[in-house]
Amino acid sequence: MEAEARVTDAQAIIVAAGQSRRMGGTKKIWMSFDSRTVLEWTLMRFKEAGVLNGVVVTRDEDVRRVQDLLAALHLAYAVTPGGEERFLSVQAGLRALPNVSPTTVVLVHDAARFLVPAELIRQVAEAARHHGAALPVLEVPDTVKRVDSEGWVAATVPRNTLRLAQTPQGFHKAVIEAAYSRLLGQDVPTDDAEVVERAGFPVMTIPGDPINQKLTRPQDVVLMTALLNQGGEPDAHRAGV
């Protein structure tokens, strides 16, 4: 209970401002799974984890609808418009965060990973609190090839040190703010942990969860539906929250 209670100190930035290009223009956050939207599932999972404050970054035209959803879920999140690129949306989220301690944990999460387990959220928050920056990762199960511009194999890459990054990624507020400040005007990556790495801060990894998949393309819908039916449902939903 102590670890769970401490998570309530964390602030979340839920990134929900994407253009859903690979989904054919259908806004992923409003797609429905088991009568609930993707964004609602995501917010419920953070609520179950004890993260009750933060910012939802969304598109201008969705601000009012997101505010209504937050009110229905009794969550005290701010809502702010995002930018055309993901890093601009994260920066908008950082600006909208309340004036909290520099060591407050900020959890940056892609709303499209709506199956994220509450326990993983707690674990990332705890690791970030201890190390300053942390993210969940998965081992690479397949052989990895590096290829040239014509498609010829250039090398086989040892996979024992490779990992696949997931979100949420957690950081002390001072760390992620400083990292983004240092990279102003540069080619900013889409992964927040990479922003922090490139700014010179160490980042710890913890084991991710295979169920924490990202809804990206139309063919992902079948997979997400199957995972949800196999136990991806949060306790809050089962309790009727």
Per-residue pLDDT of the chain (241 residues), as tens digits, is 444 444 668 999 999 997 767 677 788 999 999 999 999 999 999 999 999 999 999 999 999 999 999 999 999 899 999 988 889 999 999 999 988 999 999 999 999 999 999 999 999 999 999 999 999 999 999 999 999 999 999 999 999 999 999 999 999 999 999 999 988 767 778 899 999 999 999 999 999 999 999 998 898 999 999 998 876 555 443 333 3
Q: Which domain holds residue 84?
A: 2-238
- Dihedral of the alpha carbons of 29, 211, 105, 207, in degrees to the nearest 10: -150
In single-letter form, the type of residue at position 17 comes to: A
In single-letter form, the type of residue at position 11 comes to: Q
**Domain count for the chain:** 1
CATH of residue 33: 3.90.550.10
Tokens linked to 40: 């609602």
- 118-to-49, 164, 180, 186, 235 alpha-carbon distances in Å: 5, 20, 27, 34, 9
Tokens linked to 177: 């703010």
Asked whether the beta carbons of 125 and 167 are under 8 A apart, the reply is no
Cα separation, 157 vs 144, in Å, equals 5
Cα separation, 21 vs 37, in Å, equals 18
